[in-house]
């Protein structure tokens, strides 16, 4: 899980609309984290074990950090529920196992709020939510995920 904000490399592409969400009570998201949307419409970091209601979709990449834990934090004015915009696009995201060009176009799933995988259900565990698809790899091997 992310412990600080991050800035991700992004490939420019045509994307769909941007939607905002309110951070669920007791949770915080970081800039650059992958946001999960709960059934009640609130957002939490992807991969959260005990969300207020089930996570039903991945919203995108958080455009800023927001702390709704009710404890002291480093976000100053961005405390409380938000909203936080969830950005779509083509992002450099870290994988649990490095993909290859043979994986181009395959579904990519959220492991947590920072890491993705080509594996939907690890070791018979709970199914992960799809983040997007593998768009391609940079010449240095950096994989990019297209989040619609």
pTM for the complete prediction? Answer: 0.86
pLDDT at res. 73? 61
Distances (CA, A) of 25 to 16, 36, 80, 99: 28, 14, 8, 35
DSSP 129: P
- Determine what percent of the chain is predicted with pLDDT higher than 90: 72
Kindly state the tokens that stand for 50: 């005990």
Domain ranges within the chain, ordered by starting residue: 17-87, 91-147
Measured CA to CA, the distance from residue 6 to residue 4 in angstroms comes to: 6
Average pLDDT across the chain, whole number: 90
Given a cut of 80, whether residue 13 has pLDDT beyond it is no
């Amino acid at each position: 899980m992310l412990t600080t904000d991050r800035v991700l490399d992004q490939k420019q592409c045509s994307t769909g609309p941007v939607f905002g969400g309110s951070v669920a009570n007791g949770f915080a998201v970081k800039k650059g984290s992958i946001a999960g949307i709960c059934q009640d419409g609130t957002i939490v970091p992807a991969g959260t074990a005990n969300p207020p209601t089930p996570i039903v979709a991945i919203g995108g990449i958080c455009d800023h950090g927001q702390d709704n834990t009710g404890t002291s934090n480093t976000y100053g004015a961005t405390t409380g529920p938000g909203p936080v915009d969830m950005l779509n696009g083509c992002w450099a995201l870290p994988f649990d196992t490095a993909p290859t060009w043979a994986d181009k176009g395959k579904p990519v799933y959220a492991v947590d709020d920072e890491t993705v995988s080509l594996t939907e259900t690890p070791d018979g565990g709970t199914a992960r939510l799809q983040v997007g698809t593998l768009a391609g790899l940079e010449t240095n091997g950096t994989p990019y995920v297209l989040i619609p």
